[in-house]
Amino acid sequence: MKNGFMTAVQESKFTIWTARILCLLTMGLVVWKSLAQINLPNSFNNMDKVLHFGAYFTVCGLALLARFSKRALITVFAVILMGVIIEFLQGTMNIGRSISFWDAVANSAGAFLAFSIWLLFQARPDKASTSVSEISA
C-alpha cells in the first residue's frame, strides 16, 4: 500500500542507518572525551565508572542495532576491545590520565548489559506466538 508510509523494508533500513550514524557519533564522542585531558575534583571518586558503564552501554547498544556484524558477539567484543585500547592509550599518552583496570571492567559491564538486553528483545514472545500459530494452522 503506497500511502506515504515507509514499507517495513524501508523502515528497517532507515532504523539501521540511523543507528549506524548515532553509533559512530557516540563512538567519536567517547574516544574524544576519553583521550582529552581532564581535571576531576576529588569528590568525584569512582563516579567515573558510572560514566564508563553508560557510555559503553550506549555504544554497544547502538552498534548491535546498527548490525555492523552478523554475529552480535563480534560486535560486543569489538566494543570491549575499543575500550581496552583507549585505556592503554590513556596510560601511554602524556595527557594526565592513567590506565585503570576498573574503567575497563565498567566498559565491559556496560557492553555486556546492552548485549543481554539485546538478546532479550531477540527472543520476544510475539515471534514465538507467530510461529506456533503458523504450525497449528
Q: Is the pLDDT of residue 47 over 70?
A: yes
**pLDDT-derived band at 14, boundaries 50, 70, 90:** confident
Residue 68 has phi, psi (to 5 degrees) of: -65, -25
pLDDT of residue 48: 83
pLDDT of residue 125: 59
- Cα-to-chain-centroid distance, residue 62: 5
Q: Measure the CA dihedral 61/62/64/69, to 10°.
A: -140
Residue 128: Cβ within 10 Å count: 10
In the chain, where the domains are located: 8-34+53-125
**Cα separation, 106 vs 14, whole angstroms:** 31
- Nine-digit cell at 116? 543481554
What average pLDDT score do residues 57-78 get?
92
What average pLDDT score do residues 44-67 get?
89
**pLDDT-derived band at 1, boundaries 50, 70, 90:** very low
Nearest to 117 by CA among 72, 80, 74: 72
